[in-house]
Structures are given as C-alpha cells and as structure tokens.
Amino acid sequence: MSEVVTVDGARVGVLMGSASDWPTMEKCSQTLAKLGVTHECNVISAHRAAKRLEAYCADAPGRGVQVLICAAGGAAHLAGVAAAMTHIPVLGCPMNAWSTEGLDSLLSMAQMPKGIPVGTLAVGSAGAINAALLAVSILSLNDAELNDRYLAFRAEQSAATFELPGAPGH
C-alpha cells in the first residue's frame, strides 16, 4: 500500500523510512495505544518518496497531528527533512539498520545543524518506546486526562518489584 493512511483524531504521526522499521516501531505504536493516544503510522521515505513526505507534512498539522515521530536507518534524513517541512515537534528514532549498530542513524538525527531541531531518542526499541512517552509528555501539557494516565503509568513503573532469586533479602 503506497497511499498515506490517515486516522481520524490522530494526534501523533509515526513515520518510518521502510516497512523494515515496523518491528521496532510497533513498540512505539503499542506504547501510544496503551496510553490512549490516537495515532497513525505510515512508511514515507525521505529518499524514496520525498514528494509524499512533503505532502504529509503540509497536511498533518491541519488535521490535528501535534507531534511527529520519525524512524529511519542508515543515512537517516527522515526526521530532519520532516522537521524542515513542519513546525510541530519532531522526535527522531534511529534504527539499527544494516551497519554500525545504528550509530549512523543516531548521528544523522542528533547532529542537526542549528535552526531545525529534531529531538533524538536512543537507537532501537528503547528510543521507539521513549519517543511515544515523550510525545505523551508533550501532549499532556494541554490535556489533563492524558496527564493523569501518564502519571499513573509512571507510578506503576516505579512501583514494579523485581525478583532476584538467590540474592540476599529476596
């Protein structure tokens, strides 16, 4: 499917450079869903579908999308190009694609020249999940119910207990 998929009421747009990024970015989508954030997911490569990316970035904020999460690997330009084409916050998820364990993607996103920011997360699953949480944190600033859900999530995480079989006191 090459058409852009839009979701009514989506507040976050998750973009990937390739469908091969989905196994990692599915964790981002699952985290957004867990916190009740309506979102949409699309593969729109900055390199292979530049005009579609431009159209998406022009259209999404007007539909209510408030944060973009962009995942890409290799020479990962997706987040930077998206950030150049829209003023809404862009979070970058570097993928561990085919070489350098994702360092190439990390630097491509983190080393944006001044003027066009990309909030870059960690390589791989940790960054994918944290991008969702950071998007939730941003949206929570103007959404009391979402803020409550986010605080509950953090409290639950803090309360988690850890079994260490054989360790003193466990």
Exactly one of 29, 42, 45, 140 binds ligand RP5 (CB under 6 A); that residue is: 45
Contact predicate 101/127, CB 8 Å: no
> Does 97 engage in binding with ligand RP5 (CB under 6 A)?
yes
Measured from the CB atom, the residue of 31 and 45 that comes closer to ligand RP5 is 45
- The minimum distance between CB 123 and ligand RP5, in angstroms, equals 11
Of 17, 4, 135, residue with least CA distance to 67: 135
> Does 95 engage in binding with ligand RP5 (CB under 6 A)?
yes
Angle at 83 between CA 82 and CA 88, to 5 degrees: 110
Of the candidate spans 16-24, 85-93, 135-143, 149-157, the one that interacts with ligand RP5 by CB under 6 A turns out to be 16-24
Measured from the CB atom, the residue of 49 and 84 that comes closer to ligand RP5 is 49
Measured from the CB atom, the residue of 99 and 111 that comes closer to ligand RP5 is 99
- The minimum distance between CB 4 and ligand RP5, in angstroms, equals 17
Secondary structure of 123-141 in HEC code, one letter for each residue: CCHHHHHHHHHHHHHHHHC
Q: What are phi and psi of 121, to 5 degrees?
A: -100, -175
Q: Which two tokens stand for residue 41?
A: 């997911």
- The minimum distance between CB 72 and ligand RP5, in angstroms, equals 4
- The minimum distance between CB 70 and ligand RP5, in angstroms, equals 9
Helices (H), 39-143: 50-59, 78-85, 103-110, 125-140
> Does 17 engage in binding with ligand RP5 (CB under 6 A)?
yes
User: Residue 153, exposed/middle/buried by CB under 10 A (0-12, 13-18, 19+)?
Assistant: middle
- List of residues contacting ligand RP5 (CB under 6 A): 16-18, 20-21, 45, 72-74, 95, 97
